Structure 1
Amino acid sequence: MKILLLTPQFPYPPHQGTTLRNFNLIKGLARRHRLRLFSLLAPGDAPAGTPVTDLVEHLVTAEQPRRSMARRLRDLVSTPLPDMALRLWDPRNFDTLLEHCRAHPPDVLQIEAIEMAPYLFGLLAAGVRPPRIVYDAHNAETLLQRRAFLADVRRPRRWVGAVYSAIQTLKLRRYERRLLRSVDAAAAVSEADAAELRSMAPDLPLAIVPNGVDLSAYDPRHPYPNPYGRSGPNLVFTGKMDFRPNVDAALWFADRVLPLLHASNLGPHFWIVGKSPHPRLRRLRNRPDITITGAVPDIQPYLAHADLFVAPLLAGGGTRLKILEAMAMQKPVVSTRLGADGFPVQDGVQLALADTPARFAARCLELLQHPERAAELARRGHAFVTAHYGWEKIIPGLETLYSSNDTLTGASDRR
């Protein structure tokens, strides 16, 4: 099939959620399909010479538009559209896409994430409707914003964020429903996301196509250099650090959990690894027990030499690639239940789960003080990921959506 994918950013290097999913989907689909890619370039993106150019027949790029904070605030009160619908729309970029679609009509148009929905609506308005349109929902965005609201409304200092999330939740519900009713099929990354999407479009063919991990790139047997420069225990949390759920998670762990760990006299050090640290994290830089790395070339060395991976997420949606990566690297994981949402895991089997500061600290201490328990937990987590979450096991579920037979599939069908 000739498949045209629309991605909100160039899918290489695959260093965070969106690019990781998009690159590995492209890599897997290219084995059996003819791919074309329309991708919006962030500052610094350089497609030339990347593996993506060898995987697609046609690559069409345009620059991501920029919106000022003042414009975002005006849009908050002046338009019924959610912020995500306005973030990447640009009429000149659309003209480029429209010209390509008319010259090279695809069999399947695949929308990667809700930010690219305006380009779909533009094509439909221009009379361009490919035979099959598939929406790959990286998150059920309404659910994600609702969870952000519920997390913020409990904390008076975050009430401004709660108001923002409440407004976005209402706008996203309408917009997400419109998107789902404009496509022929959709993919969700978890059962919770699928349930949210089904509530808006009950008759839409939908498959659960979970996030996966490139098992060859996350091989615990590889001799990675040690990036820490200090003895343990080193506790690591990874992700794009201007994403609000990641910022909140890092602050919660630093302020509420890490002080409890110091009472053990183990001397733990918390590493926050990921690009674009938000200004809210700046106050942590003066703490001797915390390191904020910013962007790093590869996260594998930080995972390989960590004593513990923590996922203290309080909000969010979808499924967390970071947890899959840590388990693929055979590291013990402590997560909140929401952080592990979407994975069919059991507390104490593949990872440890805890939701309060005291309980989260206790689970960390248990694994740090008993290395044999940590190693066994890590071994079971690694076996779980290798059995179910290699991309070669996931791609066929997406391909079922390309057929007009509307066959439904899900992660549970493979287990």
Structure 2
Amino acid sequence: MLKILFVAPYTPSPIRVRPYQFIRHLSQRGHAITLVCPVDNDTAYHELRTICQRVVAVPIRRIDHLFAYAHALPHNLPLQAAHCLTPAMVAAVANEIRSGDHHIIHIEHLRAAEIVRAALHQCGDGPPTLLDAVDSISLLFERTWRRGTTLSSRVRALIDLARTRRYEAAYPQRFTAIAVTSPEDRWALTTLNTTLHKAGASPIIVAPNGVDLTYFHPPTAPRRPNHIVFTGKMSYHANEAAARYLIEEIMPRVWAVRPHVTVTLAGAEPGPRLRAYARDPRVTVTGAVPDLRPYLMQATLAVAPIRYGVGVQNKVLEAMATATPVITARQATVALSAHANRDLIVADDTDAFAHAILELLVNPERCTALGRAGRKYVEQHHNWHTSVAQIEMGYLTALSATRDRSL
């Protein structure tokens, strides 16, 4: 059993699914977890208190975030890394390190990386660290700058791109082990390290995102005919760009042939432009929902026309887990080993998306076959037990490396 200090820049939850599932499964495997995080989801926070050995909740106000950004802006620190870099967060982590009660520190995301580094600096020493970087954020920023659909998202990406590249390049020197969701992200971080920094020895492991296969399951009731769903947090710029692409460019081609096809955009915090789509009676914009499963299980198809992004797209995996046929962009399949035209449909442009949607809507047998193959794929390749086992191996590698250095 390991005693794990788990530091997160937000409350792990079914929306922040990766750290949430890691904590759940690590606890089930007998590890003792102390979680330090801000509280931005009361429901998840109360559940985590029943899973973790202890939860240290750190209040962070909006003004605290702004002060942290303002302090980082004139320096080389990425704004992402400054997000929760407050004295209270650093003090909470430093207090846990000084207790000497933890074997390893699990750092969730770039947003928590500098918190732990600052706490270790205060303490002078501490346990080995595993940074779950999740994705290469600089790769995401580069793609956002090149392909983002709003000026604000492109400018924000450009402001933080160079400093994020430099910070990520130094990961192997700053952390004992690093984890990412996909081989592409490992390639991106390794390339940064060898070109912008001295090559480091700390390993970068791939621990793919999983799916809760009990929670997300195929439906028992019939699906709603001629109905399309797109899911995701709609305030995230890549999801907003995909939703706009779906409604403004793809669906007009579909409606020209089948005018009664309906679409649901299911996810939290849609902006004014997305909410305005609901003026069309064929489009539903839900906002935050307590459970995405009914929307996936009722849909004829799940369409994910991702314009840019990195890592594993949970929206694709969750749809496949419910045996909902998926049509997605090639970008969303880079981190997957799924077979196009067997496990899901890959579309490269607007006409290809519209053609695939129209073809599947009139072919229920093909939809059923795709749905079954998609479910089988996630069962074989995206089980949380396998991903957590990879993280455990990362812990053991970090612990072994630390022992070797101390000899």
Scaled by the length of structure 1, the TM-score of the pair is 0.88
Q: 1:261-410 maps to which residues of 2 (within 5 A)?
A: 261-265=254-258, 267-404=260-397
Question: Counterpart of 2:213?
Answer: 215
Q: Which runs of 5+ in 2 are unaligned?
A: 194-198, 401-407
Q: 1:53-64 maps to which residues of 2 (within 5 A)?
A: 53-64=49-60
Q: CA RMSD in A?
A: 2.4
Greater shift in the superposed pair: 112-121 or 65-74:
65-74
Cα shift at 1:387 = 1.2
Alignment size in residue pairs: 393
Q: Find the aligned partners of 1:10 and 1:69 in 2 and give their Cα distance.
A: 16
C-alpha distance after superposition, 1:59-100 (max 9, x if no partner) = 111123315998799679634332212222211222122222
- Say whether the 8 Å CA contact 1:198–1:204 is kept in structure 2: no
Helix, strand or coil at the partner of 1:110:
strand
Amino acid at match of 2:239: N
1:129 paired with 2:122, answer no
Q: Find the aligned partners of 2:100 and 2:137 in 1 and give their Cα distance.
A: 31
Q: Find the aligned partners of 2:73 and 2:50 in 1 and give their Cα distance.
A: 44
1:191 paired with 2:183, answer yes
Q: 1:77-88 maps to which residues of 2 (within 5 A)?
A: 78-88=74-84
Question: Counterpart of 2:24?
Answer: 27
1:95 paired with 2:69, answer no
Cα shift at 1:129 = 3.4
Q: Find the aligned partners of 1:362 and 1:46 in 2 and give their Cα distance.
A: 42
- Say whether the 8 Å CA contact 2:343–2:370 is kept in structure 1: yes
Cα shift at 1:139 = 1.5
CA pair 76-363 structure 1, distance change in 2 beyond 3 A: farther
Q: Find the aligned partners of 1:232 and 1:67 in 2 and give their Cα distance.
A: 48
Cα shift at 1:177 = 2.4
- Say whether the 8 Å CA contact 1:123–1:129 is kept in structure 2: no
Q: 1:32-71 maps to which residues of 2 (within 5 A)?
A: 32-42=30-40, 44-46=41-43, 49-50=46-47, 52-67=48-63
- Say whether the 8 Å CA contact 1:65–1:90 is kept in structure 2: no
Aligned match for 2:143, one of 142, 147, 166: 147
Q: Which runs of 5+ in 1 are unaligned?
A: 408-415
Helix, strand or coil at the partner of 1:403:
helix
Q: 1:98-247 maps to which residues of 2 (within 5 A)?
A: 98-152=94-148, 158-201=150-193, 202=199, 203-221=201-219, 232-247=225-240
C-alpha distance after superposition, 1:263-303 (max 9, x if no partner) = 22251111111111123423323222211100111001111
Helix, strand or coil at the partner of 1:181:
helix
- Say whether the 8 Å CA contact 2:69–2:79 is kept in structure 1: no
CA pair 399-70 structure 1, distance change in 2 beyond 3 A: closer
- Say whether the 8 Å CA contact 2:94–2:120 is kept in structure 1: no
- Say whether the 8 Å CA contact 2:134–2:181 is kept in structure 1: yes
- Say whether the 8 Å CA contact 1:277–1:294 is kept in structure 2: yes
Question: Counterpart of 1:412?
Answer: none
Q: Find the aligned partners of 1:72 and 1:5 in 2 and give their Cα distance.
A: 21
Question: Counterpart of 1:410?
Answer: none
- Say whether the 8 Å CA contact 1:273–1:294 is kept in structure 2: yes
CA pair 317-104 structure 1, distance change in 2 beyond 3 A: same
- Say whether the 8 Å CA contact 1:67–1:87 is kept in structure 2: no
Cα shift at 1:37 = 0.8
C-alpha distance after superposition, 1:87-114 (max 9, x if no partner) = 2221122212222221243111010111
1:3 paired with 2:29, answer no
Q: Find the aligned partners of 2:155 and 2:340 in 1 and give their Cα distance.
A: 34
CA pair 280-77 structure 1, distance change in 2 beyond 3 A: farther
Q: Find the aligned partners of 1:334 and 1:95 in 2 and give their Cα distance.
A: 46
Cα shift at 1:211 = 0.3
- Say whether the 8 Å CA contact 2:91–2:119 is kept in structure 1: no
Amino acid at match of 1:20: V
C-alpha distance after superposition, 1:186-237 (max 9, x if no partner) = 111011101011123353211110000010101215569x8xxxx5311111
